[in-house]
Structure 1
Amino acid sequence: MARIPKLKYDRGTLILHPPPKGKEWIDFASWDDRVEKFRIPAIDYRPLVETLQATGIDFIDEAKEFIPLELTPSFEREPYPHQKEALQAWKQAGRKGVVVLPTAAGKTYLAQLAMQATPRTTLILVPTLDLMHQWYAQIKAAFPDVEVGLLGGGSRDRTPILIATYNSAAIHSEALGDRYALLIFDECHHLPTDFFRRIAEDAIAPYRLGLTATPDRTDGTHRELDALIGPVVYRKTPEELSGGALAEHKIVQIKVKLSQKERERYEKALKIRNDFLRQSNISLGSLNGWQLFVQASAGSNAGRRAMLAHREAKEIAAGTDAKLRVLIELICEHYPESILIFTNDNATVYRISQEFLIPAITYQTPVKERHEILTRFRERDYKTLVTSHVLNEGVDVPDARIAIILSGTGSTREYVQRLGRVLRKGSDRNKLAVLYEVITEDTSDERTSQRRRGTEDNPNQPRQLSLVYSQSSNSADPLETSKAAESPVQWKQEDSKDNLTLDF
């Protein structure tokens, strides 16, 4: 009598032995001479099982270690329409896919709803320790009767609901791969790297939810999220949610001019850089132009001078004194509102902090000091806070109404994250958030702004209020404009809300 095939999990892969009859399943498998058995990638667990079931092949599933959970939330609130729509879209896609929502749009509560609709052992992945502890507090409060654990920062729990950093989960991916039926990837744009992708590839989890405000990556690897998690199943922009789940907001672009001395230094630095680029036949506008520039700059004294000149030009454009004058006026105009100030470099953060006596947070700020600053900002002891990149994501920033971008990268993700810092309604249901973007006219600063706002191809696209502020003229007032079991089959469960089924 023929033996029934068994499906087993083995260190990030599946072994199916003895080989079943039929040919449909063979597309998932490759022969392993070392064990003389067929081996299948763990990520293919769900399509493999569905194929075996569809073709009527009997097998014993010994791969899964995940189990059902009793998830009774301690609190429930009426979801926003976009949360209901996103959850339904994810369910209709087979509980696999990415949801794109702006910062402050309630992605954590959406994840809670997904867990309630898919009550199975769950692994939640986050990029930072700060986010890990924030998720722990919220999930523990939501499901107090279920054991919630941590993986990362010295913790190595083994619990039905586990919250882990990407780094720690990647290290232990082979040990985690068979334990969880639902994977939730917060800030899932971090996943498509050679190291972190192992989390998804080594897991048999049939259900996967990706959450992000900005899925796209400059290296193009965001396309791999389709295979690692699932396709984008729902997307909303800050503009679409403004006035509903998010605060009404406006974006005010303020342009400043370089002084004559700054302009002379800027043009001189650009000439040094551009002469070298021409001689080296390098175009920074090409696909790999920047990489070629970096390589060439390391090979000669002229190259090093060109790179230093490039950096000097950017620093002049980003840190012109005219921006600081505008900053003074904006702070005075909006006092005592809570104000967040963003720059692209730590040197400018510390300069502003020292000259204006404003608390600063950078990656160098100790954890306890950062916690103290954020607490006092939340309690409004501090009215203003200046930072570089450390508050872009992974930190629960208290409510603020005003954000000022003095400088930044060309990253759309960074821009959306910074805007999201003032979009949370908080207790003010009629809140109007304002994002000021201070740009140096006729410099690389303008092109950087166009890239991050997605208007590079059409810089005249009307997406924000705009004005020009010159340090040599008082005719333009920025403040006036600013006012303006045994087998998967036995686990099938009806979802009473929409009659979708859980097959695993």
Structure 2
Amino acid sequence: MTDERSATPSDEQRSDPEAASVVDDEPSAVDAESDGDPFTIADFHDASQREGRPVLTAAAVARALEIPHEDASDRLAALAEDGDLERLSVSTDPVVWYPTELEDLTDRERVVVFPKRREIVVDRPDQFTRAQLAQFAHLADANGEQGYRYVVRPEDVWSTPHDSFEDLARTMRQALGQRAEDLEDWVHSQWDRAHQFRLTTHEDGYTVLEAQTPEIMGNVARQKLDEEHVHAPISETEDWVREGAEAAIKRILYEAGYPVQDHRDLEAGEELAIELTVSLRDYQRTWVDRFAEAGEGVFVGPPGSGKTVAAMGAMAHVEGETLVLVPSRDLAQQWADTIVEYTSLEPHQIGQYHGGQKNVRPVTIATYQIAGMDRHRSLFDDREWGLVIFDECQHVPSDVYRRSTHLQSKHRLGLSASPIREDDRQTEIFTLVGPPIGTDWEALFDAGFVAEPELEIRYVPWGDDEQQNAYASAEGQEKYRIAARNRGKIDEVRYLLSAHPEAKAIVFVDYLEQGRELSEALDVPFLSGETPHHERRRLLEEFRRDERDLLLISRVGDEGIDLPTADLAIVASGLGGSRRQGTQRAGRTMRPAGGALVYVLATRGSREEDFARKQLQHLGRKGITVREQRVDDGAGEDED
């Protein structure tokens, strides 16, 4: 048989340019194939991305795509014939090539995969792409609409909401617009790891650890676990688990790279009909659906994204008696009020258990400290909870709070704006409670559900020579304390409040002495841990009702109470605190209303400068713009 590609054109084809182009196009399309894959404009864009410029020579394409120079020239010529590329002769090289529509390279959504680093860089992604990426990757950096960097971590694959690897691979290809084989192979290996172990309930009522194979049981579980965790083997792939050791087993194997699937038949508790009286936003509904599939999880989202309301959606799904654990009695009261406001439950169905009152009801809100005390534990252990909610669950790994996680329930749900721990124990959050479930912050900003605050670090001069000299001679933590209490910040707070006379403002301080000084200077009450609970509630209610436009508050406001929405937040001190603290304080302005401002004051030339940058840099990676401004010695005046 004659090969059509080498056939001599007929006289008719020679005389007809359009017919001749059909013959010419066939060999160029086939010649432009590599291992059966056609060379397309997308391949040129890939090469352009790797080389870092939109105009390429054949040599550059050959280098980027690792093909011979002659093949690159032929393929570029074929694309030019199709009208996808333009060629231009220049003096330094015979020919350069660029897209016919150059703006196609710069304006379109662009996804670039780096398999070895397991990173995905996306320019101008649409909401669909970001939603797909969020199902298997972590948003590590975002700098507005032009650049998003995702990292695919083991824990992202382990917690993906897919029933099979085929479903996950389909989502990956939709998000990436291509099949990244090396990345898929690694994701597949992590998927397999996540399905090697599971906890089940034996017919006699005790817990069993099961492994997929005798090899994985012997080489991993029986190497990592001891008599504190298991009684004895039942078979080559099963071990009898000691009562109460389940959480430790999950943590140990998770840290070994093998998350455990929890399929125990836990008690669901008494049924409790709950209906929401408010509609969930689309992303909140997605959170609840993912929680419903897994039976556990941690809702991760910025302040103002409605995690508490979404948690009530989870309560309505479970329809079982619920225990809510919170860091403080102030939050317990706010939870009780919110449940009455947004669900069909009546006040008599809701109890609080803490230092102020001790009532166990179908829905009980307790503090972590009380739930972890031996003399109170039996009250919670004896009741079968259908759902346990861990508010501000970033505290859970701490030695004081983790005892509360021993409480067993069929479903567990955590809530956190920023599950970051300075002791790097954040992975324990997800083994003790459940996998992370959330939406990237930038998506909420774009959709208008949460207002992106404007953050500005303001470097303030010393207020007097005495403090400056004391700082110079101090050492260690004392340097930080002196810089934090710089009296020059009092004038700067005054200036910022006067510059925004219509704003409802919250001023944060870390030190009682500084709080008292500001309270006297501004003639406002200072809300701290020393403030009686009834006085706290009164001040907060006045702020909510617009009867008060300024709150001065200590670190008790970071997590212990649900602060009202503010237009302006001024962080006068607290920069040596955690990254989570920075998120919480910035987040006090993150609500649907726009125009929110956050000013962070740092003493110029002190350690606070570095603390401020480090504390807020992770907010920059979430897409929030962080500015820096040097305050002149004349209070409030900035340098260009």
Query: How is 1:168-179 mapped onto 2 (pairs within 5 angstroms)?
Result: 168-171=370-373, 172-177=376-381, 179=384
Query: How is 1:262-301 mapped onto 2 (pairs within 5 angstroms)?
Result: 265-266=469-470, 268-270=472-474, 273=475
2:125 alignment partner in structure 1: none
How has the CA–CA distance of structure 1 residues 472 and 150 changed in structure 2, closer, same or farther, with 3 Å as cutoff?
A: closer
Aligned partner of 2:559 among 393, 401, 413: 393
Amino acid paired to 1:107: K
CA contact (8 A) 2:459 2:604 kept: yes
Q: What is the CA RMSD across the aligned residues, in angstroms?
A: 3.5
CA contact (8 A) 1:25 1:48 kept: no
The answer on 1:422 being equivalent to 2:589 is yes
2:456 alignment partner in structure 1: 252
CA contact (8 A) 1:359 1:384 kept: no
Range that drifts further, 252-261 or 225-234: 252-261
The answer on 1:216 being equivalent to 2:428 is no
1:112 alignment partner in structure 2: 312
Aligned partner of 1:237 among 427, 430, 441: 441
Aligned partner of 1:23 among 235, 243, 246: 235
More helix by share: 2
1:469 alignment partner in structure 2: 631
1:159 alignment partner in structure 2: 361
The answer on 1:98 being equivalent to 2:305 is no
Aligned partner of 2:392 among 187, 195, 201: 187
Amino acid paired to 1:322: G
Aligned-pair CA distance for 1:340: 0.7
Greater relative contact order (CA < 8 Å, ≥ 6 in sequence): 1
How has the CA–CA distance of structure 1 residues 128 and 100 changed in structure 2, closer, same or farther, with 3 Å as cutoff?
A: same
Please give the alpha-carbon distance, in whole angstroms, between the structure 1 residues aligned to 2:453 and 2:571: 15
The answer on 1:412 being equivalent to 2:579 is yes
Please give the alpha-carbon distance, in whole angstroms, between the structure 2 residues aligned to 1:397 and 1:40: 37
Aligned-pair CA distance for 1:166: 0.9
SS of the residue 1:6 aligns to: coil
CA contact (8 A) 1:96 1:230 kept: yes
Amino acid paired to 1:201: H
How has the CA–CA distance of structure 1 residues 384 and 242 changed in structure 2, closer, same or farther, with 3 Å as cutoff?
A: farther
Please give the alpha-carbon distance, in whole angstroms, between the structure 2 residues aligned to 1:446 and 1:44: 40
How has the CA–CA distance of structure 1 residues 378 and 68 changed in structure 2, closer, same or farther, with 3 Å as cutoff?
A: closer
Aligned-pair CA distance for 1:8: 7.2
CA contact (8 A) 2:352 2:364 kept: yes
Aligned partner of 1:368 among 530, 534, 538: 534
| 1:319-356 CA distance string (max 9 Å, x none) | 33432222221111111321111122111111011122
Please give the alpha-carbon distance, in whole angstroms, between the structure 2 residues aligned to 1:340 and 1:121: 37
Amino acid paired to 1:358: V
How has the CA–CA distance of structure 1 residues 26 and 262 changed in structure 2, closer, same or farther, with 3 Å as cutoff?
A: same
Please give the alpha-carbon distance, in whole angstroms, between the structure 1 residues aligned to 2:618 and 2:307: 27
Scaled by the length of structure 2, the TM-score of the pair is: 0.56
| 1:135-167 CA distance string (max 9 Å, x none) | 112223413258222222353334322221111
2:190 alignment partner in structure 1: none
| 1:162-220 CA distance string (max 9 Å, x none) | 221111222233442361121111101121123322222241x1211110112121222
Aligned-pair CA distance for 1:23: 2.9
SS of the residue 1:157 aligns to: coil
| 1:428-461 CA distance string (max 9 Å, x none) | x4x31000112222211111112211369x99x9
How has the CA–CA distance of structure 1 residues 403 and 104 changed in structure 2, closer, same or farther, with 3 Å as cutoff?
A: same
1:432 alignment partner in structure 2: 595
Amino acid paired to 1:413: R
Please give the alpha-carbon distance, in whole angstroms, between the structure 1 residues aligned to 2:490 and 2:311: 41
Amino acid paired to 1:188: C
- Aligned positions, number: 400
Please give the alpha-carbon distance, in whole angstroms, between the structure 1 residues aligned to 2:249 and 2:426: 22
CA contact (8 A) 1:259 1:471 kept: no
How has the CA–CA distance of structure 1 residues 318 and 124 changed in structure 2, closer, same or farther, with 3 Å as cutoff?
A: same
Query: Alignment identity in percent?
Result: 26
1:380 alignment partner in structure 2: 546
| 1:439-491 CA distance string (max 9 Å, x none) | 222211111112211369x99x99422221121588637xxx9xxxxxxxxxx
Aligned-pair CA distance for 1:263: 7.7
Query: How is 1:125-136 mapped onto 2 (pairs within 5 angstroms)?
Result: 125-136=325-336
Amino acid paired to 1:71: I
How has the CA–CA distance of structure 1 residues 72 and 473 changed in structure 2, closer, same or farther, with 3 Å as cutoff?
A: closer
Structure ID, larger Rg: 2
Aligned-pair CA distance for 1:314: 2.4
SS of the residue 2:385 aligns to: coil
CA contact (8 A) 2:232 2:239 kept: no
Please give the alpha-carbon distance, in whole angstroms, between the structure 1 residues aligned to 2:502 and 2:547: 11
SS of the residue 2:426 aligns to: helix
Amino acid paired to 1:323: K
Range that drifts further, 316-325 or 218-227: 316-325
